[in-house]
Amino acid sequence: MIFKADILPTLAKKISHTDTAASSHWNHFHKFFSIDERLEIKNAVGFGDGRKPYSSITKILHYLLQRRYRKMVPNNSFFQKTYKNAKANSLRNSSRFSLDTLRQVLTLTYLKANGLIKNNNISLVIGDGFASMGSILLQSGVAGKVIMINLTKTLFVDVYYAMTLPELEKNNSMVLVDNENDLKMAVYDDNVKMIFVEAVNCNILNASEANLVFNIVSMQEMDMKYIRIYFDQMRKIAKKKPVHFYCCNRESKMLPDKTLVEFSSYPWKDQDKHYFDELCPWHQDYYRLIPKFYVPYDGPIIHRFTKLST
């Protein structure tokens, strides 16, 4: 088990290695990832819609263009608190409050407003970006503990941004694990709030006992082999306790090596209970600062909230 102060140095030693869990999509974008000798991120192409802060003028434009998305969920106290926390996280990290970040707030608000999630879950985030979802899960109280799994280079970025959270100030508040025993120990240690796992170690996740799982637009960029492993790990947990899975991904996406990843081909079962299964309102398009302002994605994006069967 590796604690907060040593996580980035540990991951940094592997930055030059080929990640065997990466699809052709990430093998392409990881070629551009780099850090400096101080472990500062120099380049993270393809990791989202950017981290550079907005200027005073563009900040206003982004706020106005994000308005249509903010209106897609109730403007209730949960939304206001979570939105405020997400904005504060961006400010603390000297990064922008992007549409990607806003979408995490919308997702949690939608689930909360529909009475589908409660508080103090053990949450698993498969493929977060910049620790956006993991951070607000912890801060909102939806999760008492968060497990974050990602490809090594992308996990480095998650850790880098999570480290600034006030909730993770103590050295024993966040850990990196690579085996089931350490994962179990971290889950039962009240001091540990966020647990990090490299994707190559995805077969240990059944030890997490996570009951609330999120995957947002990253399974669409995985090889089916790993999608099956994640489902298998979740179903192993479901044999012991109820597991609810929020899955939001492209209906189909062609990867650079011509692999076609289809939402309908994920290993769902007829016995799974879907609370909703629909086009995700806030994931059908994105905006830019020039006309045409709103641009649809290459294909529809579905979101589904499911109680997984065994």
Q: What is the rounded end-to-end Cα distance, in angstroms, of the chain?
A: 30
Classified as helix, coil or strand, 220 is: helix
User: Is the residue at 38 inside a domain?
Assistant: no
Upper half-sphere CA count for residue 194 (Cβ side, 13 Å): 32
Can you spell out the DSSP letters for 237-297? HHTTS--EEEEEEESEEE-TTS-EEEGGGS---TT-EEEEEEE-GGGSEEE-SSSS-EEE-
| pTM of the full structure | 0.95
The helix (run of H) or strand (run of E) holding residue 106 is helix 99-113
Residue 37 lies in a domain: no
Strand blocks (E) in the chain? 2-3, 34-35, 41-43, 121-126, 143-150, 174-177, 194-198, 212-216, 244-250, 252-254, 260-262, 273-279, 285-287, 294-296, 301-307
Residue 53 lies in a domain: no
Residue 228 lies in a domain: yes
Measured distance CA(22)–CA(75) in Å, rounded: 38
CATH number of the domain encompassing residue 274: 3.40.50.150
Please indicate, yes or no, if residue 72 is contained in any of the structural domains: no
Please indicate, yes or no, if residue 227 is contained in any of the structural domains: yes
pLDDT tens, the chain, 310 aa long: 999 999 999 999 998 888 989 888 878 777 778 788 888 887 665 565 555 667 778 889 999 999 999 999 999 999 999 999 999 999 998 888 999 999 999 999 999 999 999 999 999 999 998 999 999 999 999 999 999 999 999 999 999 999 999 999 999 999 999 999 999 999 999 999 999 999 999 999 999 999 999 999 999 999 999 999 999 999 999 999 999 999 999 999 999 999 999 999 999 999 999 999 999 999 999 999 999 999 999 999 999 999 999 9
Q: Can you give the residue range of the structural domain that contains 167?
A: 2-14+118-307
Domain total in the chain: 1
In a domain, 279, yes or no: yes
Q: CA–CA separation, 165 vs 90, rounded Å? A: 10
Give the residue among 107, 71, 131 at the shortest CA–CA distance from 247: 107
Question: Is 281 among the domain residues?
Answer: yes
